[in-house]
Amino acid sequence: MNHLRFPPLLLCLTRARALPAALLVVGLLGAGCSSEAPATDDVRPVRTMILAPVSIDADAELSGEVRPRVESRLGFQVAGRVSSRRVELGQRVRRGDVLATLDPADFTLTATAASAQLSAALVERDQQRADIKRFEDLHRQGFISAAELERRRAQLDAAEARHAQASALADVSTNQAAYATLRAPADGVISAVDAEVGQVVSAGQSVVRVALAGDKEVAVSIPETRLEQFRRAETLRVTLWAHRQELSGRVREIAPIADPATRTFAARVTLIEPPAEVALGMSATVRFSSAPMPPSLAVPLTALLREGDATYVWRLDRQAMTVARSPVTVAGVSGNQVILGGGVQAGETIVTAGVHLLKPGQKVRLLDVDPASRPGEPVSAVQ
């Protein structure tokens, strides 16, 4: 019987194709038999510092704006249409200068009507006075009764009252006509214009603002953490951004209630003998200092972890190289440093960066440790 024979070249190709499949099967069997590689521990790089009492800088500075001590919003005491405005923004005015006027037509008519009513009341009063004299003579002669005489006297009293009323209304009309002219109550500078010619304004509505001549002040806003330090400030140094000269100042007033939006307290610092070039609206910096504060534990803001209503720091166990979370209290802020009021002690090591990536018992490692680092200073850096 004849056997099938494959050419030598075809046989070699068949064997070559079967070789990779065999190797794949061997690899899979070997993978199934080998054990899984052990997982590496999650070790976080952190930056730390050793807590130590440090002296807190008592100096502080606040930004403010030069403002007049008194700035009045002036408006007409009566309603009407503005017919003229005699001043411009920044113009200096003197006491009694005309600032603006209202259309006088209505006030003139009202004054004329009041004057006519006063004349009519005057004629009626004089007539009643003349009549009462004749009725008194008739009563003495017995021609009229006492009751009729009393009635005539009552009519005279009513005429006297109507005359007094008409006189008062005439005075009011005269005053209203005068109120149609707005005058400066004192020397000052026009700081704002709130109404224009042709605009109808109500009584009391602001038309112009006048910064009255007098003391110049710096308006500042004090944060809660600086309030007591500002109250105890011994000296105030004011520097204007437009001038290099340092001025002296004194605290005139501090608002008793914080602003509901900014949670800061408004205050005014009076400038002592400011030069003439100090203009209203200039930006200023107020620097002040108080009695030196005792050494305290201070940490950078990045060391704090806020959760809910509590604040924490991560303490480092150098033996196990793990971290634990500890609650702390914040006593204040000084520049970029947060002053701690309790929860940690001097000599302990805390994490100053990467606090949001840690968990209790987390293993950590220090980066770029400087053996010569001193307490109170960072001992590593995060890269």
Classify residue 187: in a domain, yes or no: no
Question: 300 and 351: one domain?
Answer: yes
Q: How many domains does the chain have?
A: 3
Tell which of 264, 289, 314 closes a domain. Answer: 289
Paired with 273 in beta bridges are none
In a domain, 19, yes or no: no
Nearest by Cα to 249 from 219, 221, 229: 219
Judgement on whether residues 175 and 122 belong to the same structural domain of the protein: yes
Residues 255 and 311 occupy one common structural domain: no
Amino acid at 90: G
> In this structure, how many other beta carbons lie within 10 angstroms of the beta carbon of residue 292?
10
Q: What is the pLDDT of residues 218-253, one digit of tens each?
A: 999 998 878 888 888 877 889 998 877 889 899 999
If asked whether residues 280 and 300 sit together in one domain, one would say no
The answer to whether residues 202 and 77 touch, using CB atoms and an 8 Å cutoff, is no
Q: Is the CB of residue 52 less than 8 Å from the CB of residue 346? A: yes
CA-based end-to-end distance of the chain: 82
Decide which of 9 and 87 is more confident.
Answer: 87
State how far the Cα of 362 lies from the Cα of 196, in Å rounded to an integer: 69
| 247 within a domain of the structure (yes/no) | yes
Residue 304 lies in a domain: yes
Q: Measuring CA to CA, which residue among 102, 98, 111 is closest to residue 80?
A: 102
The domain of 314 spans 46-56+295-366
Domain boundary among 233, 256, 289: 289
Residue 241 domain flag: yes
As a whole number of angstroms, the distance between CA 228 and CA 236 comes to: 14
CATH code assigned at 347: 2.40.420.20
Question: Domain boundary at 154, 179, 204, which?
Answer: 179
Q: Are residues 225 and 277 in the same domain?
A: yes
Could you give the dihedral angle defined by the CA atoms of residues 9, 10, 14 and 17, in that order, rounded to the nearest 10 degrees?
70
- Tens of pLDDT, residue by residue over 98-153, are 999 999 888 888 888 988 999 999 998 888 888 888 888 888 888 888 888 888 88
Instruction: Find the helix or strand (DSSP H, E) in which 115 lies.
Output: helix 105-141
pLDDT tens digits along 353-375:
888 889 899 899 887 654 434 44
Whether residue 383 is predicted with pLDDT greater than 60 in this model: the reply is no
Residue 87: inside a domain? no
